[in-house]
Structure 1
Amino acid sequence: MTLTKQKAQAITKAALKARTVDELVVHVSASTRGYLRFSQNQAAATGETEGLEVSVTATHGGRSATVSGNDTDKGALEALVADAEALAKLAPADPEHMPLLGPQRYVEVDAEDAKTAKMGAEERFELTRQLLRVANKARLHAAGMITHDDGAYALANSAGLFAYHRSTQAEISMTCRTSDGTGSGWAAAVDHRVEKLDAKAIAERAAEKADLSQKPEEHKPGVYTVVLEPQAVADLLSFLGWSLDRRSADEGRSAFAKPGGGTKIGEALFHKSINLRSEPANAEHPSAPFAGDGQPLGPVTWIDKGVLKALSCSRFWAQKEGLTPLPRPGSFFLDGAGQSDEALIRGVDEGILVTRFWYNRMLEPQTILATGLTRDGTFLIKGGKIAKSIKNLRYNESPLTLLKNVLALGEPKRVALGGRVVVVPTMVVGGFTFSSLSDAV
């Protein structure tokens, strides 16, 4: 379902016109999504869905309530507002409620691709044919998914703010298994332009991993040098995003809290090669130019040459502590050094190559210690070469280790991480802890 800027303005204006309380916020989201799921080397399911949702938050005397619906008729919108207002008057007061933002200025972002927006069943099946052609030739069992999305999101409030963002996204993921069930390989790619996805290359990567990972051997858990491919890097760094928070640091609840009080902003906490930033208007990988409350999202440097430069800060905490508000990261770009994965492996005398992690869970927020398992290709490196496939391992490690113990960096690539824009390189990291073996393939 196409939500144009004009249609979004009409919906939000109609809802705002029905307001009778202090404040009203209207969110409108719409999307057209297509998918094709394949399994056992054949298409298993395909389809498209369209949806639109209107969410209204009413505030009266610091008391707020939210009601959602999918009908945009005038009467339905008025009823939605009335329900939200009635519930708001019954809700407890929010001691951290902030006044609404007025009109804002946002950076120009071009995140929509016409070809991706027009994708249909024919395009999905053609991509699937390219994937399965590789798997069939290699005599591998293949499964995976192709998805594409054309979505728009709008935000308006009774203080005069209006924001609108439209974007597209296409993603391919594929897993290959060997006929004996011992080898598993995976590859994926995502972009807002479907033409940037090379289905043949994705399939060849997954097939190669499956072939190499056959008949894995046990390898003793311990502390190793690791070569983490971009997906593995992103899997761990995802925990960092929530930790880059000023309030938790000020309150002594995070890894960025200074003993005795204060934060570690300005301290050299990481390897000097680490540069982490957000960039909504990035030409290759754009993202939304505003946060959920309408705050503008601009370029932000979180870490510069290993020095912590910024922590996100809510409007409430900024007002309380006399700080400048800074929304949470809307995207992550971690600089690399341009080396190929092959060159990085050649530089490792002994270590472990990890394709990706899964079943990742936070263990200790104050150190960002996390745990999870390797998956779809874990290999022992000896003398700068892949020596053999090894059984999967459980890790107990913090993303802070990645950023501190960097030995080398590869070429940054966008990875699939829940629709979020995350661009990271392959990393060679020292002192990485594996705690136990896993028999899972």
Structure 2
Amino acid sequence: MLDGGLALLSAAECALEGAGFAERASLPALVGVVFGLLAGSVLVLRRRWPVAVVLVSIAVTPAEMGFLMGIVGLYTLAASEVPRRVIAALAGMSLLGTLVVTFVRTRQDVATADFDPGPWYVPVVSVVMSIGLTAPPLLLGLYVGARRRLMESLRERAISLEQELTLLADRAEQRAQWARTEERTRIAREMHDVVAHRVSLMVVHAAALQAVALKDPQKAVRNAALVGDMGRQALTELREMLGVLRSGEEAVARAAAEPVPLAAVGAAAAAAAEAAEAGDGVQAGEAGEAAGEFGEFGEAGEAGEASAAGEGPSLADLGSLVEQSRLAGMAVELSVHGEPRVYRPDVEQTAFRVVQEALTNVHKHAAGAKAWVRVAHRAAEIAMQVENGPSLRGAADAGLPSGGNGLVGMRERVSALGGVFVSGPTDGGGFRVSAVLPMGSQAESPAG
């Protein structure tokens, strides 16, 4: 609508000025009016072809018409995306044409006037008129064009920043999801290591308790006590992990866990012995389980308090770990090469868990097989290897459930610390698990 209105005004102006031009040129007035209408209506194309509008306005300048078209055309040209050299050239042509026409017209008017204004009058008026008709629209157009480009640049930058913020938010959500997944995986590994090993040994001891209940009551009592000890250890480690997950509920959980007198443990063990002497194997098994339960709830609170400040299992606990497997009936040899030293907690815990899970797999899948545990403290790394021979029971497992995540969890633990993990069967019919962890020692000492 704006362009159409400006085009109508320009056509009306050019039509009136065209009539005067036709009179001065001794032409029919209709010719001048039609020519002015056609020339003035070109202004409607100023947005699409600003160069053409300015060229038309320059072309009709000698006929003293198209002043509105020239002003609006120069403004549109300066505000457009046309190259600056083109704008400068067309503005110079328009200024020169207006200067020449104004000079000639003013000189004619002065020649017919009754007074003499002096020789300076014509040039000054011509220059002022030409600059006044050319400079203001040109400068205004340059300002509007620069402001428009600045606003467009700011708008594009805002859109780009919004896209970057959206991308950063998506990445933050992905990192949060990845962190949650990693934490769930880590907790799952810890739960697997604790429950699988302790409960596997408890199942093995329970089977031994059932087997010897009638033949050797004293051994049955010892096995029941071992089951209770392992249950307490498992419960302590589980409480440590749950304490991390529910730190706010630790006080409530401690208050809810009422300690049971240690006399109850002795009473339960005595009941297991009496049941064994009476020849009731099933009752002995139940009594052994009761002893384990009483042992768990009676001493787990104190054990949890004592180990709450610790950082989990370490290489110093490998001796007790191997001893537990020996008490469960496995022939295990432990050999340590090099001078032991203290490593970072995560390295110590990972090394312990690898050996623990490997021994658990031997209990599960190679009952009765002999195992060798080797640990080597080297200059820049620590290596551990657990190897077992063929099962003495025809590779029959102990009937323990397996989720198939033991080796996967060990590989994840070792890889997370930048180590190397290898596992596979041996030529002798056994299985071997090897892991190498980079050095992360807290107290450096020469390797042996």
* Bigger helix share: 2
Question: Which protein shows a greater Rg?
Answer: 2
Bin for the TM-score computed over the shorter chain: under 0.3
Question: Of the two structures, which has the highest relative contact order with CA contacts closer than 8 Å and spacing of 6 or more?
Answer: 1
Q: TM-score, normalised by structure 1?
A: 0.23
* Bigger strand share: 1
